Amino acid sequence: MSRFIIVSNRLPITVKSENGVPMLSDSAGGLATALKGPHSKSDSLWIGWPGDISRIEKDRIHELEGKLSEKRFSPVYLSSSEVNKYYEGFSNGVIWPLYHYLVDKVQRSAWADWKAYHEVNQKFADIIASRSSGSDMIWIHDYQLSLLPGLLRKLLPNSKIGFFLHIPFPSSEVFRILPWREEILEGMLGSDLIGFHTYSYLRHFKRAVAKILGSDEDENSEGICINGRNISLGVFPIGIDVERFSSLARKDEVQNEIEGIRHENPDHKILLGVDRLDYTKGLIRRLMSFERLLEREPELRGKVKLIQVVVPSRTKVDSYEHLKKEMDELVGRINSTYGSIKSLPVHYLYRGISQEHLSALYCAADVMLVTPVRDGMNLVAKEFVASRNDENGVLILSEFAGAADELAEALIVNPYDVDRLALFMKKAILMSENEKTSRMKRLRERVFNYDAFHWTSAFVNALEKVAMPLANQPLVISSPDDFEKLFEKIKRVPEIHLFLDYDGTLVPFAETPEIAVPDKELLEIISALSVHHGIDLHLVSGRTRDTLEKWFGHFSLSLHAEHGFFSKMSPESEWIQNHHENPAWKAMLEKLLDEYTLETPGSMVERKSGGVAWHYRMSDPEMGVKQARNIRKRVDIDFQGSKVEMFNGEKVLEFRAKGVNKGAVILKTLQKNPGSSTCIAIGDDRTDEDMFAVLPPGSIGIHVGKKNTRAAFRFADIACTRLFLRKLSEL
């Protein structure tokens, strides 16, 4: 029976030991809250690390497991070395700073923890696979587990896998710093659906895939097509449990505490910050702005105070220890300069506080400061809004927090601009009651409508809808055993017509077409096939006659140049032109393509007799795709009625006379050889699909690579094609 499985680095509980007896307490984090609903309502399983259990006595572990299992939690135990390397090291020392654009905070020593990161992701994959029915819906969370979808896909090909990234996905310019960028992207792409908080994170991801893995960037599509699979991408901004925060704020105990906070300095305006100690949170710049406010606005001195709660975290890491020291010094400087015997401008609490206390602070604040230099979403901003049943209070929100995309009625600031942030603090303090209420009303509407439960159901519904993987997918052929099965099909046939594409099928793509010269190994394979009595060999390429002649003219085979515009059936015969249209459009088209080539660095025009091609392999991928689209639009209009056909190849836009295509080459061959109709066609791009489309029954179509195809079989790469052809020549 299939189930819903949630996977996160940490289980949403804390394990404590009371005299060696394991005790569980629920954690109130954002993720735990958001997923509490679906986890309690369904028969789901939640898999993750239960935290440090070293204090639990060995013979009590089964008791712990019983308690976990009652809550449908399934533990992944991690050793202290695994926690140090996978979690503290690679996740928090490399990915965390890099994805938050803080490249100088990347810990050089944690670079070496990649191996442990990979191993722990594999450990999660093995444990999930052992607990899965094989067709479950699995929702994986966050950057600690970015390899997991890919590893799991190999073990559970029929499961639906969703992945949500809770932190930003950075610009591809920053992401590509990572030496393991391919592995991380391929890991995430094992999913069927990948969710992000904002559209810009999604764009960055798509761009990184195009740039690093070389997929075509299709702006019109919401997803990515790679490895023969479609992966959906979506924007799902996380919400909070609004009712919990709103009702907490109404509790008597909280109301009393609000009175207490206000009573302490009744004429003071309160600015509030609540953050985990982290360099992403913009704490130093926030304090500097507050200092600037006091420096520039003497009349506010003694009338404003900043309450800053900082929750200790990652205390053993140098950069965090340094940040703590900087904070202490800055708070000391501000308080000693602007404080008085009666009051201090900064109230700095370096500890976690209770939910009730937090709620009281949210309600007592005149201004909430959420000014991270980078933050995936930031839940504090939403919790503040949900707590303000009085529709009062001003939210100052960094434009670099994901929440800024949703909470437009906040005062949106650049946290790096210390002067301006100080000005915004003043603006917020002096804001009229009317303006505060009207802004807060709108903020509350948004936060209440898109709450935690909306977030969960939006993601789960989208995951339910994504196409089931592997239906109608070509069979992957990878080993000599697999070849044997194919050979069984053709062994009894007297003659095989073998149609081979060249670029991307027999040789890898080179930066420019002229570099992709056949190597010694390939020439040996072609030579062996060409002398085989049972094989009628055809090379069907988009290349020109001259090139094919130069490289393969001396072999006993048929050459088809420019997608079949010209053919040469043997070394002795002449080239024949299969189509007799005079391409009147060609000169005009070449002129147009020359113009685009000038505007598009890295692009080039390839002139052929029957057509022309515009290559953009070497261009910036986004620009190349955009310019190709512009060219298509121009051609659609300017060449209406011309007998020109255009299509996208592998980073190339091809133009040729209508009716010329590789499929026509196969049809002509079969016409000449009625009765013996077994064909093998091997190719990698869109032009080869024309061959697969016309293959008669009993034939074999093989796509090389990772694209969607109508071929029934797939080779992973060129090495596989070559191995197959070598074995075929030995039959």
Q: Helix 520-530 crosses helix 718-729 at what angle (to 10 degrees)?
A: 40
Which amino acid, 464? Answer: E
Q: Confirm or reject binding of residue 355 to ligand GDG (CB under 6 A).
A: yes
Given the complex with ligand GDG, which of 311 and 569 has the nearer CB atom?
311
Given the complex with ligand GDG, which of 30 and 393 has the nearer CB atom?
30
How do strand 193-196 and strand 160-164 relate by DSSP bridges? parallel
Element of type H or E holding 569: none
Strand partners, 160: 137
The least CB distance from residue 408 to ligand GDG, in Å, is 17
Given the complex with ligand GDG, which of 301 and 357 has the nearer CB atom?
357
Q: Name which of residues 205 to 264 contact ligand GDG (CB under 6 A).
A: 238
Q: Confirm or reject binding of residue 277 to ligand GDG (CB under 6 A).
A: no
Q: Confirm or reject binding of residue 2 to ligand GDG (CB under 6 A).
A: no
CB-CB contact of 488 with 518 (8 Å) = no
Q: Confirm or reject binding of residue 375 to ligand GDG (CB under 6 A).
A: yes
Closest CA to 505 of 650, 387, 621, 622: 650
The least CB distance from residue 21 to ligand GDG, in Å, is 25
Alpha carbons within 13 angstroms on the beta-carbon side of residue 109 total 7
The least CB distance from residue 310 to ligand GDG, in Å, is 9
Location of structure tokens 């399983």: 45
The least CB distance from residue 35 to ligand GDG, in Å, is 11
d(CA 491, CA 728): 10
Tell me the CA end-to-end span of the chain in Å, nearest whole number. 46
The least CB distance from residue 157 to ligand GDG, in Å, is 29
Residue 27 has phi, psi (to 5 degrees) of -95, 150
Q: Confirm or reject binding of residue 309 to ligand GDG (CB under 6 A).
A: yes
The least CB distance from residue 171 to ligand GDG, in Å, is 17
Given the complex with ligand GDG, which of 358 and 395 has the nearer CB atom?
358
Alpha carbons within 13 angstroms on the beta-carbon side of residue 51 total 17
**Contact with ligand GDG (CB under 6 A): which of 45, 95, 274, 646?**
274
Q: Confirm or reject binding of residue 358 to ligand GDG (CB under 6 A).
A: yes
Alpha carbons within 13 angstroms on the beta-carbon side of residue 536 total 15
Location of structure tokens 């990572």: 178
Point out the catalytic residue in the list 113, 501, 503, 688. Answer: 501
Location of structure tokens 């009371």: 18
**Number of chain residues interacting with ligand GDG (CB under 6 A):** 19
Q: Name which of residues 132 to 191 contact ligand GDG (CB under 6 A).
A: 166-167
Count of Cβ atoms closer than 10 Å to residue 227 Cβ: 19
CB-CB contact of 410 with 424 (8 Å) = no
Give the tokens for residue 633: 């639009």
Closest CA to 161 of 480, 597, 467: 467
Q: Confirm or reject binding of residue 610 to ligand GDG (CB under 6 A).
A: no
Q: Confirm or reject binding of residue 353 to ligand GDG (CB under 6 A).
A: yes
Q: Confirm or reject binding of residue 352 to ligand GDG (CB under 6 A).
A: yes
Given the complex with ligand GDG, which of 358 and 539 has the nearer CB atom?
358
Q: Name which of residues 23 to 42 contact ligand GDG (CB under 6 A).
A: 29-30
**501 part of the active site:** yes
d(CA 225, CA 234): 14
The least CB distance from residue 696 to ligand GDG, in Å, is 55
Q: Name which of residues 378 to 417 contact ligand GDG (CB under 6 A).
A: 378-380, 383
Residues with active-site annotation: 501
Contacts with ligand GDG, residue ranges (CB under 6 A): 29-30, 166-167, 238, 274, 309, 311, 352-353, 355, 358, 375-380, 383
